[in-house]
Amino acid sequence: MRDPTSDRLIDLAGIEGSFEFRDDLPRPQWHKIGAWIDDHIKKADLDAAWNEAACQWLERLAAQLKADYWVGVSDRFALLTSQNKKHATELLNTAESMLTRIRRTIGRPEKGQSLGCRVILVFEDLATYYTYVCHFYPEGEFSASVGMCIYEGYIHIVLIKTDPGILVTLAHELTHAATVHLPLPTWVQEGIAQIVEQSRQCVPIDYERALEHKRLWKTRGLREFWSGEVFHLPKRAEFAYELAEILTRNLIGDYKSRFVDFLQSAHSDDAGEGAAQRCFGQSLAKIAEGFLGSDVVNPESGA
pLDDT of residue 199: 57
Asked if residue 111 has pLDDT above 60, the reply is no
Please give the backbone phi and psi of residue 18, each rounded to the nearest 5 degrees, phi first: -70, -20
Q: pTM (2 decimals)?
A: 0.82
pLDDT of residue 283: 95
Looking at per-residue pLDDT, the higher value among 1 and 262 belongs to 262
3-class SS of residue 35: helix
pLDDT digits (tens, 9 = 90+) for 39-67: 999 999 999 999 999 999 999 999 999 78
Which burial class, exposed, middle or buried, applies to 222 when counting CB atoms under 10 A from its CB (0-12, 13-18, 19+)? buried
CA atoms of 197 and 107, how far apart (whole Å): 18
Specify the CATH class of 12-181 in words.
Answer: alpha beta
Q: Which of 101-105, 146-150, 236-240, 268-272 has the lowest mean pLDDT?
A: 101-105
Which burial class, exposed, middle or buried, applies to 270 when counting CB atoms under 10 A from its CB (0-12, 13-18, 19+)? middle
Cβ count near 146 (within 10 Å): 16
pLDDT digits (tens, 9 = 90+) for 216-269: 999 999 999 999 999 988 889 999 999 999 999 999 988 888 999 999 899 999
Delimiting residues of CATH 3.30.2010.30 domain(s) in the chain: 12-181
CA atoms of 298 and 1, how far apart (whole Å): 53
pLDDT of residue 200: 43
